[in-house]
Structure 1
Amino acid sequence: MEGQFDYVIVGAGSAGCVLAARLTEDPGTRVLLLEAGGGADHFLIRMPLGMMKAMLKPELTWRMMTEPEPHLDNRRLFLPRGRLLGGSSSINGMVYMRGHSGDYDRWAQKGCRGWSHADVLPYFRKMERSWRADNADYGHDGPLPVTKNNTQYLLHDELIQAVANAGLPVTDDIHGGAEEGASLVELTIDEKGRRASTYEAYLKPAMQRPNLAVLTNALTRRVLVEGGRVTGVEYEHDGQVKTVRAGREVILSGGAFNSPQLLQLSGIGPAAHLAEMGIAVVHDLPGVGGNLSEHPRVPVEFAAKGPVTFVNQLRFDRAVRAVAQWYLFGSGPFARQLNSANPMLRSDPRLSQPDIQLFSNPVKLSAHLWFPGFIKSPPHSFSADVILLHPQARGSVRLKSAHPRDLPAIRLNLFDNEADLITARAGLRLARQIYATEPMGSLIAGENIPGADVTSDPAIDAHIRATAGTTQHPVGTCAMGTGPGAVVDPELRLHGLAGLRVVDASIMPDVPGGNTNGPTIMIAEKAADIIRGRSLPAINKNERDAA
């Protein structure tokens, strides 16, 4: 730990692990990676179906909560974020999505030059080791395994057929083919049935390099600024406060909550708020902590007609056998995810791309192990939660105090506008339509949540306000762009101060239409090339297909 590093990366999450691995491919570049949490070699992390237990373990997560949400009956929402090597990629649901091509073209239209779909597609391909070995639209030799879900116990075929019978689109390839419809779920799980976090895929293979230092249980307190330039960071480790200098740059990769919090703790952010917290203003940058965007999730649940769901696999003796099968062979029901399919749909046919995702599972995620005569079985049910892919609501991340160990004040402001309510209502009605259509219709005994009698707009809105949650996809709080609310430029350099970049989900101008872990990894891949002064040639897929 002695001496100066070229780069100090704060946060060993989905982006930080990628950056550390890519930058140290140059043996002449010295990198220090600081992580507030610990290691990621826990049994529940490696086994895919351990995700729900891992997400709830305090030693693995930042236990964040929103402030009372004014448009959700003043409820506070739980926002667990990974606090370990790999960050949230070590505890998430492992669903792999790139997002719609139009999402990135809109980024470019907003002034983010170099971030159109043609610009980012090479980096998605660079990072992927896809199961679609014969498909030119995917990468095949990248660090990140992308495998298809095992649908044996998930009633996948029935759901896909119901979507088709309801007159809605189905696609074999949500990324390389039609970017709309119900499809097979792809996962960041390796060929041995183990979770493929960015720690496993990127950082762990690089940790033997002499030019990479990784320090865990190191909480960064602030960045250091001298003469208009960020020169290093102050961090706490083993009860001592220490400093380290960065010869080239400090890179923040703490995510959409931690990165803006650290900037504000360092005196970088909205001047009035910093003054309110008693923090000397180093650089007035109003956009820090603003523009928070998240995919809202509205619960929808149907009762199954008989014992046909994944609850069967949670019977204690079967679960023990499934764990053994996973451990020995990397296969079986615990070696994959629970998602039946991933319908990406338009709530209005006039829209240019899907605005609704249905989180379809043949079991409640809260279901538990059971055994006849000892522990009662969970109810057999289907969930089809409605996810808004392009919400208009925007929230904020602000300090609660000037102490680095105090978690920030997070306000999502979900459903603060009529447009998002209209979209959610339409999505709920789409879910009802699909699950009433054969062959799913024959498997359904009735609607548990919100209930078949909840039909009017006011009644559905009341359900939304009483039950809506999140998908754990926060972005946007250090937004990339050129306008007055932007925090970083298209090369991810902080506006107004030299020597600092932000590379994580916080730089997204708005949330992509899909799960955000894949796009965050892509951002880090592209950022590593930007930092090294190079780029991959753009790929215009539409022009290539036309040719």
Structure 2
Amino acid sequence: MARNFDYVIIGAGSSGCVLADRLSADPANRVLLVEAGGSEKGHLTEMPLAWFRAMMAQQIGWGYLSEPEPHADDRRIPAPRGKVIGGSGSINGMMYSRGSPADYDQWAQMGARGWSWSEVLPYFRKSEANWRGESEHHGGSGPLTVSRNDPHPTIYPAIVAAAGRMGFAHLDDFHGREQEGFSAVDITTHGGRRGSSAARFLRPAMTRPNLTVVDRALTTRIVIERGRATGIDYVRDSETVRVHAGEVIVSAGTFNSPHLLQLSGIGPADHLRELGIDVVAELPVGHNLQDHASIRGLYEASGPFTFDQQLRFDRMALAAVRWQLTGTGPLTQMPIGAQGFVRTREGLDRPDLQLLVSSVAMDAKVWFPGIRKRRGDYLAVASVLLHPESTGTVLIKSPDPAEKPAIRFNLLATEGDRATFRRIVRFTRELFAQPEAAALVRQELQPGSDVQSDAEIDAFVRSIIGTAMHPTSTCSIGPVVDPELRVHGIAGLRVVDCSVMPAIVGGNTNAPAIMIAEKAADMILGRGPLARAA
């Protein structure tokens, strides 16, 4: 393999795969993509319904846990990240969501020039082939296929009607002129299979002779000489390899990008010196960690209309054959009955809650009479805090690249976040008290009717809170990188992934990760930005 490249990309996640495609489209560019994990091929990652098993699979994950969370009963919170081609985009729930236009205008107000809504929308459209077709809001011919998840015939109309009684709109599209309301979800599937950036961007590009992909290779250091990044070291099959680069692009994700920068001497100076690491650039790398805090509710369903009915072994076996042969059937869908983006109080300029009503308990398994008892008919409700006040850190523990970093989400650190979750619990109860939604359920099991006071709700939230697994902002535009994503003080080095977000967006983060890479590719190649949206 050649040891000299124009561009070396570290991390074949949602952003890295897009960069590898876009940068290698010019045959004059020699591009290397280095990934710590292996192939994403297989039923576990390609079958949409298997996403939760994929997310928890140790063989394709980093196995991250937070440090004990002081405001969440000192529990260690799981933080799944994909260690596989496609990164977390190969194990996530495939939800297509962008957040609100105000999120990106906020970025611009925070100093991220060029990242306002009118400036990023063209890049969302460029990447996308939406089932609705091309419009002012959507692309129609991009690599990323966005499909409609089939609405549940019982749950969907009931939840939409109940939300309507509370004054919330029934939307056709969360990415149209309005974002607040209830609708079905969009997912990134193609032909009934996961449509990750690995499948839709990287795999077609891998036929190019100027693109080299090295998997199962752990990058251990960015080589920096006289203030410039000149290459990287990685370990593969116990051999250390050094490659040289005209530009190094770190796309390792919100946990691994700051980890690698700190290993390379870029980060909080005092912390690095304590570990015996020479400081190359003092920057707040690893600070400002943000994620969507999330809690789970559970209701007993009033009848046998949930997805648990489909989990009977013989039905699953037939569905698997159908999926394998035709790419159709229930295994191509997500068991999400309805979704809402809402404001839980007056005075907010955008939604602060994402509510997902699922037609199955999260711990349900395939069952068969006489062999394994079925879980039963339940509705699960995920409530996601979209704009948390609490921030955390990602810091290395030692100079050993193989040692996992210390992740501290600092969930529920502020009274504002605690108060929002009280409103969220009460909002969900109000929704299910409406006649249409009330007809779907027999009783509230979690948190349970005995949890009523502020103190009782706070205790419940502390006991169960986790994250929506949307970490961002540890290498933010402003403190760590400039608006063109160049690391301050180090030439030839950029970060391109969700870690550059100045503030977390109010939605799922896979589509923004792809957008960030699309826009970054034009910056890296010296092209002018796409024309602003009207």
Q: 1:320-335 residue pairs with structure 2 within 5 A?
A: 320-335=317-332
Deviation (angstroms), 1:324: 1.5
Deviation (angstroms), 1:14: 0.5
Deviation (angstroms), 1:127: 0.2
Contact 1:171 1:177 in 2 (8 A): no
Select which of 519, 537, 540 maps to 2:530.
537
| C-alpha spacing 1:380/1:150, structure 2 compared with 1 (3 Å) | same
| C-alpha spacing 1:474/1:134, structure 2 compared with 1 (3 Å) | closer
| C-alpha spacing 1:73/1:154, structure 2 compared with 1 (3 Å) | farther
Q: Tell me what 2:335 maps to.
A: 338
Deviation (angstroms), 1:327: 1.4
Q: 1:337-486 residue pairs with structure 2 within 5 A?
A: 337-481=334-478, 486=479
Q: Tell me what 1:165 maps to.
A: 165
Deviation (angstroms), 1:165: 2.4
Q: Deviations over 1:478-510 (max 9, x none)?
A: 0012xxxx1000000000110100000100011
Distance 1:499 1:537 in 2: 23
Deviation (angstroms), 1:533: 1.2
Deviation (angstroms), 1:151: 2.3
Distance 2:309 2:275 in 1: 53
Q: Tell me what 2:200 maps to.
A: 201
Distance 1:277 1:11 in 2: 25
Q: Tell me what 2:111 maps to.
A: 111
- For 1:212, the aligned partner's letter is L
Q: Tell me what 2:256 maps to.
A: 258
Distance 1:389 1:245 in 2: 40
Contact 1:390 1:511 in 2 (8 A): yes
Distance 2:499 2:22 in 1: 20
The question of 1:295 aligning with 2:301 is answered no
Q: Tell me what 2:517 maps to.
A: 524
- For 2:113, the aligned partner's letter is R
Contact 1:121 1:538 in 2 (8 A): no
Contact 2:155 2:440 in 1 (8 A): no
Q: Tell me what 1:219 maps to.
A: 218
Corresponding residue SS for 2:463: helix
- Between stretches 305-314 and 208-217, larger displacement belongs to 305-314
The question of 1:488 aligning with 2:481 is answered yes
Q: Deviations over 1:381-431 (max 9, x none)?
A: 111121100000000001111111111000000000000111111111111
Deviation (angstroms), 1:359: 2.2
- Between stretches 165-174 and 447-456, larger displacement belongs to 165-174
Corresponding residue SS for 1:15: helix
Distance 1:306 1:339 in 2: 17
TM-score (norm 1): 0.96
Q: Tell me what 2:39 maps to.
A: 39
Distance 2:533 2:169 in 1: 25
Q: Tell me what 2:89 maps to.
A: 89
Deviation (angstroms), 1:379: 2.5
Corresponding residue SS for 2:457: helix
The question of 1:228 aligning with 2:227 is answered yes
Contact 1:6 1:30 in 2 (8 A): yes
Q: Tell me what 1:544 maps to.
A: none
Deviation (angstroms), 1:172: 1.3
Deviation (angstroms), 1:308: 2.1
Contact 1:153 1:310 in 2 (8 A): no
Aligned length: 534
Deviation (angstroms), 1:153: 6.1
Contact 1:297 1:468 in 2 (8 A): yes
Q: Tell me what 1:505 maps to.
A: 498
Corresponding residue SS for 1:439: helix
Contact 1:154 1:361 in 2 (8 A): no
Contact 1:165 1:438 in 2 (8 A): no
- For 1:185, the aligned partner's letter is V
Distance 2:188 2:498 in 1: 18
Q: Tell me what 1:308 maps to.
A: 305
Contact 2:294 2:384 in 1 (8 A): yes
Distance 1:134 1:292 in 2: 35
Deviation (angstroms), 1:154: 6.8
Q: Deviations over 1:515-534 (max 9, x none)?
A: 00000000000000011111
Q: Tell me what 1:238 maps to.
A: 237
Distance 1:134 1:199 in 2: 23
| C-alpha spacing 1:540/1:2, structure 2 compared with 1 (3 Å) | closer
The question of 1:121 aligning with 2:121 is answered yes
Distance 2:461 2:411 in 1: 10
Deviation (angstroms), 1:177: 2.6
In structure 2, runs of 5+ residues without a counterpart are none
Corresponding residue SS for 2:79: strand
Corresponding residue SS for 2:181: coil
Contact 1:123 1:536 in 2 (8 A): no
Corresponding residue SS for 2:62: strand
Deviation (angstroms), 1:325: 1.7
Corresponding residue SS for 2:462: helix
- For 2:288, the aligned partner's letter is N
Contact 2:13 2:251 in 1 (8 A): yes
Contact 1:30 1:212 in 2 (8 A): yes
Deviation (angstroms), 1:163: 1.3
Contact 1:160 1:170 in 2 (8 A): yes
Contact 1:122 1:536 in 2 (8 A): no
Distance 2:165 2:187 in 1: 26
Deviation (angstroms), 1:538: 3.6
Q: 1:14-93 residue pairs with structure 2 within 5 A?
A: 14-93=14-93
Q: Tell me what 1:184 maps to.
A: 184
- Between stretches 205-214 and 340-349, larger displacement belongs to 340-349
The question of 1:515 aligning with 2:508 is answered yes
Contact 1:343 1:358 in 2 (8 A): yes
Contact 1:119 1:537 in 2 (8 A): yes
- For 2:257, the aligned partner's letter is S
> Structure 1 vs Structure 2: percent identity of aligned residues?
49
